[in-house]
Amino acid sequence: MKDAALRKEMVAICRRMNAAGINQGTAGNLSLRAGDGFLVTPSGMPYETMVPEDIVEMDFDGTYAGRRPSSEWRFHRDILKTRGDINVVLHCHSVYATTLACHYKTIPAFHYMTGVAGGSTIRCAKYATFGTQALSDHALVALEGRLACLLGQHGQISLGATLEAALWLAIEVETLSRMYVQVLTLGEPPVLPDDEMARVIEQMRKMSYGLAPDAEGINDAARARGG
């Protein structure tokens, strides 16, 4: 079986989506860049019964081998085709992210962790029927310069360079969504300014390369001592 190790890892991540509570039934789907094409979860199959052989191999022209691919294969294809910086597309109907998506709410910088999606907001895409090219087109707009978005009256998409990164981000988007829903019960929250979010995102970028953010003056003091 081609890409056996990748398929096995995809099945494991799918089951972790369920265990983390961000996916229910057959609602979510997952894709991974592989060679000149990509692998995507099959249509209408619960993750607990899915095995590596069920993962569908697709080309960017839309042809596939094996089972019928997820009905959302178009946005998986289009995102992977246009975003060379990512290798994984994860889609789910996590409850709080979907709650906000049903009201077309963009998640603002009410909390600095909004920056994990790559900007000062997590946008909500326009609604379109599931599985359509229109939905894919709307998702690409909402994801411009971002690693995650909400889909109007639908769910969320999170991207990553790896399967682990995409799963982590999807869980973080759901956590932020839950916090924002709760915050809204007290009224619209204050929002961090763009210049602060730019600093936050730069700190996050440094940390992704293993460079811990420095508390002001600490490293200067260490250098003064010869540390």
Locate 97 and state its tokens.
């992210």
Among candidate residues 9, 57, 72, 174, the one labeled active-site is 72
d(C-alpha 183, C-alpha 99), whole Å: 14
**Phi/psi of residue 195, each to 5°?**
-65, -35
Q: Contact, 202 vs 115, CB < 8 A?
A: no
Strands 155-160 and 88-92: antiparallel
Q: Contact, 152 vs 137, CB < 8 A?
A: no
Looking up tokens 């691919």 gives 69
Helix (H) or strand (E) holding 177: helix 163-184
Look up residue 112 and give its amino acid.
Y
- Taking alpha carbons only, the member of 136, 163, 158 closest to residue 147 is 158
d(C-alpha 172, C-alpha 135), whole Å: 23
Q: Contact, 31 vs 38, CB < 8 A?
A: yes
Please indicate whether residue 164 is annotated as part of the active site: no
Q: Which residues contact 181 (CB under 8 A, 6 or more apart)?
A: 96, 99, 100
Name the β-bridge partners of 30: 90
Look up residue 135 and give its amino acid.
L
Give the catalytic positions in this structure: 72
